Copies of this chain bind each other. A is one copy, B any other.
Amino acid sequence: MVNLEVNLKGLSLKNPVMTASGTFGYGEEFDDFIDIDRLGGILVKGTTRHHREGNPYPRMAETPSGMLNAVGLQNKGVENFCNDIYPRIKHYNTNILVNVSGSTIEDYIETASMINELDRIPAIELNISCPNVKEGGMAFGTSCVSAASVVKAVRKVYNKHLMVKLSPNVTDISEIAKAVEAEGADSVSLINTLLGMAIDAESRRPLLSTITGGLSGPCVKPVALRMVWQVFRAINIPIIGLGGIMNAKDAIEFILAGASAIQIGTANFIDPQVTVKVVEGIKEYMIRHKVQNISDLVGALEIQ
């Protein structure tokens, strides 16, 4: 039989399929649709030190083969997560990762150290790339110096698997990846959303309350694939690839480009069962192509 297991520097996944933060709630929202325990891992909502109301309505606009969002990290804060949500979801028999966001280094440190105490959370994903927060959430991810500084600070207080989520809104993503690798990141996930904008020509108004927002969905897949490929050749820690994955074929493309595991985001909105279908599709691909271990496909793009 084919072996879908993935080992991300100590974090082991039963298969390479995870969910993308902010698109999968706390997992519970999908209980009616799928058996979450069949996934390699789930990334829960972006979590911050303090409660955040997020941005005003409207927060969403459809775009060609994609969508823009301006949720703005609405969440009840890390304490609420630890006390109320964690007890409710820790029963899942899959890896639960918390996406940690912040506006200051202190925020990140506080939040990460609180999550560090939770037995059933084997890893965090450090979100240094959210484009929807005014006070610097994205700025951290757009320069090597600031990206390194936040990873360095969090590394000191967080001793499990530290995944760092990179912003695609940069000139050279592999430089940023190298900088966070150097500070002890265990893996990198990419890409977060591309900064975009939508306008209603008739009303002459922006479609989002924040004017600009984060672009996701199949439209960003070519950019995401390119970045995974670039980063793969630049660093030695594992890569988690995402951006527009809608089916197993897309997932395989990311793996061939260099991703050890993948995340599925926007596709969950269109088909809440997509994640388990992708697990099955990857299996089917491996059987058809006589690939024994999924790891054999990682970065296996053939270039003459």
Contact = CB atoms under 8 A, between A and B. Distances in A.
A222 B196 contact: yes
Interface of A: 63-66, 68, 142-143, 169-172, 194-199, 201, 203-206, 211-212, 215, 217-223, 225-226, 229, 244, 249, 252-253, 256-257, 285, 300-303
Nearest to A198: B222
Contacts of A229: 197, 211-212
A196 B225 contact: yes
For the complex, would chain A's binding face be called helix, strand, loop or mixed by DSSP majority?
A: mixed
A218 B222 CA distance: 13
Contacts of A226: 195-197, 212
B205 A301 contact: yes
A62 to B, nearest CB: 10
Contacts of A218: 63-65, 219
A257 B211 CA distance: 11
B206 A303 contact: yes
Contact of A65 (B197, B201, B219): B219
Nearest to A201: B252
A210 B161 CA distance: 35
A285 B201 contact: yes
Given A143-B171, A199-B225, 20 more contacts: A63-B218, A63-B221, A64-B221, A65-B65, A65-B66, A65-B218, A142-B171, A170-B171, A195-B226, A196-B223, A197-B225, A197-B257, A198-B225, A199-B253, A199-B256, A203-B302, A205-B301, A212-B229, A215-B222, A219-B219
